[in-house]
């Protein structure tokens, strides 16, 4: 038996933000990030709509990119004081994910971060509040997923929280919010969405309900991401839908080791001055992981189907896999994303020597590999890598080497 869960309601299209007027409740807390929503007037609009719905509104502002455990705990404390019956999270994946974790702590004040990390072990929510998510980036799809990613900065590690309990009740997918994204954010979040769709399609938990969503998302992202990156706002609106479809798929089909590796490399080199941004990490690792997973017959066939839907040609599955890898690498080039960690600059752009020194990477490699194998996303990957294989794979991601094992 398997379960397929999505938000109860999804409002989409330009102006969908106005739906906030129809929420029923007394008090809403609005959780936002660093200021993009405020600067662009969306925060004010949201507040006004909620007040029109008769609600008292409190703001939790300033959730940082890759939110920390501390941010979650502080936000939950504010919620415990205010006692909202709606949590409205608006912005990129970071504030929405942080709000999901605050929600757990608000409903269960004794719950520790370790408790939250138990996969599919979150207690029943919605006793105090319902959750509405409004994305302003086109990638994570956290507005429809059962996941939240929180970073433990003491360890430099990202932990995915996973349970259908944290699937939002209402998602508002309004493309106007995504129009202000700078190019780099379009690139990174777009490749995050592409990775979600491809990993979901080859995941061992794929099924008849998740496959069409993944395939349609892949076709749309292939067509729309580069035009969106180049400023075409119709393509930007399509991408907002496409990433959401990818999310509906992976929330129910789960992901694979591209995400395991991205989670465990994202913040681990922060002492050298930067993060490897989630979407960029995925974009660099995805072609390597496809080559690795394609040694599994079922996965190889499934990559072949993806290549067919993308119209890439190829006479057999080997050729199709090679063409898929080639296509994704070309997308990285077009989006100004490096192909490997060695060439990943502190500003995320390609450069000769990136911000992660070779000796530091090699020294931390065994523990990164161990952590990646233990990540929640590894369980549904078509191949289970050994410690040695994971280290080799990560080395290929550092040096941009071909994967032949
Ligand atoms: N929950 C999930 O299912 C899931 C899936 C994938 C990734 N994630 C996590 O989500 C986080 C990344 O989220 P993200 O990629 O959406 O970025 P983000 O939320 O970290 O935002 C990145 C930056 O973009 C700015 N920004 C957001 N929207 C904007 C807009 N419309 N215009 C201008 N600036 C804008 C933010 O202020 C921030 O500075 C990571 O922590 C990642 O691990 C979660
Ligand atoms: Zn992702």
pLDDT per position as a tens digit, 322-364:
999 999 999 999 999 999 999 999 999 999 999 999 999 999 9
Cβ(181) – ligand 1 distance below 6 Å: yes
Cβ(248) – ligand 1 distance below 6 Å: no
Cβ(94) – ligand 1 distance below 6 Å: yes
- For 30-83, the pLDDT digits (tens) are 999 999 999 999 999 999 999 999 999 999 999 999 999 999 999 999 999 999
Q: Which residues, at least 6 apart from 74, have a Cβ–Cβ distance to it below 8 Å?
A: none
Considering every ligand atom, which ligand is closest to the CA of 178?
A: 1
Cβ(138) – ligand 1 distance below 6 Å: no
Cβ(210) – ligand 1 distance below 6 Å: no
Cβ(149) – ligand 1 distance below 6 Å: yes
**Which atom of ligand 1 is the closest one to the Cα of 67?**
41
What pLDDT is recorded for position 143?
98
Pocket test for ligand 1, best of 67, 253, 278 (most atoms within 8 A of CB): 278
Say if residues 380 and 204 touch (Cβ distance below 8 Å).
yes
What pLDDT is recorded for position 165?
98
Cβ(249) – ligand 1 distance below 6 Å: no
Query: DSSP per residue over 165-218, as a string?
Result: GGS-SEEEE-GGGGTT--HHHHHHHHHHHHHHHHHHHHSTT--TTTHHHHHHHH
Element (H, E) at 60: strand 56-60
Q: pTM of the entire structure?
A: 0.97
Considering every ligand atom, which ligand is closest to the CA of 144?
A: 1
Task: Give the dihedral sign, CA 86/90/95/97.
Answer: positive
Q: Mean pLDDT of successive 10-residue segments in the chain (405 residues)?
A: 96 98 98 95 98 98 95 98 98 97 98 94 97 97 97 86 97 98 98 98 98 98 98 98 98 98 95 96 98 98 98 98 98 98 98 98 98 95 98 98 97
What pLDDT is recorded for position 249?
98
Q: What angle do CA 49, 54, 56 make, to 5 degrees?
A: 90
Angle between helix axes 297-310 and 317-334 (nearest 10 degrees) is 60
**Which atom of ligand 1 is the closest one to the Cα of 181?**
32
Considering every ligand atom, which ligand is closest to the CA of 147?
A: 1
Q: How far is the C-alpha of 103 from the C-alpha of 56, rounded, in Å?
A: 18
Domains defined along the chain, listed by start: 9-178 (3.40.50.1970), 183-399 (1.20.1090.10)
């Amino acid at each position: 038996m398997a379960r397929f869960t999505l938000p109860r309601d999804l409002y989409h299209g330009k102006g969908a933000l106005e739906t906030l007027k129809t929420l029923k409740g007394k008090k809403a807390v609005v959780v936002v990030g660093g200021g993009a929503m405020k600067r662009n007037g969306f925060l004010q609009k949201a507040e006004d709509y909620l007040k029109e719905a008769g609600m008292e509104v409190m703001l939790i502002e300033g959730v940082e990119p890759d939110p920390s455990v501390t941010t979650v705990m502080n936000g939950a404390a504010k919620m415990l004081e205010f006692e909202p019956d709606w949590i409205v999270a608006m912005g990129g994946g970071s504030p929405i994910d942080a709000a999901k974790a605050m929600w757990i702590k608000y409903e269960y004040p004794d719950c520790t971060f370790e408790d939250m990390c138990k996969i599919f072990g979150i207690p029943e929510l919605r006793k105090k509040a319902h959750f509405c998510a409004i994305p302003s980036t086109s990638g994570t799809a956290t507005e429809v997923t059962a996941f939240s990613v929180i970073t433990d900065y003491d360890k430099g590690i990202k932990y995915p929280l996973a349970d259908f309990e944290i699937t939002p009740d209402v998602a508002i997918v309004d493309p106007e919010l995504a129009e202000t994204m700078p190019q780099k954010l379009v690139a990174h979040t777009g490749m995050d969405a592409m990775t979600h769709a491809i990993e979901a399609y080859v995941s061992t938990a794929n099924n008849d309900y998740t496959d069409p969503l993944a395939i349609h998302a892949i076709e749309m992202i292939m067509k729309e991401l580069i035009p969106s990156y180049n400023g075409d706002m119709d393509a930007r609106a399509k991408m907002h839908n496409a990433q959401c479809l990818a999310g509906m798929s992976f929330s129910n089909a789960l992901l694979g080791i591209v995400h395991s590796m991205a989670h465990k490399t994202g913040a681990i080199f922060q002492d050298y001055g930067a993060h490897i941004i989630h979407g960029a990490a995925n974009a660099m690792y995805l072609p390597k992981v496809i080559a690795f997973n394609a040694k599994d017959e079922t996965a190889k066939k499934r990559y072949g189907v993806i290549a067919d839907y993308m119209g890439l040609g190829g006479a057999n599955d080997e050729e199709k896999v090679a063409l898929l890898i080639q296509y994704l690498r070309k997308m990285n080039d077009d989006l100004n994303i490096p192909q490997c960690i060695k060439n990943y600059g502190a500003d995320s752009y390609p450069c000769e020597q990136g911000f992660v020194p070779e000796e530091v990477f090699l020294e931390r490699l065994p523990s990164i590999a161990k952590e990646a194998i233990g990540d929640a996303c590894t369980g549904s990957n078509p191949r289970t890598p050994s410690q040695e294989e994971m280290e080799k794979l990560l080395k290929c991601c550092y040096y941009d080497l071909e994967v032949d094992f």
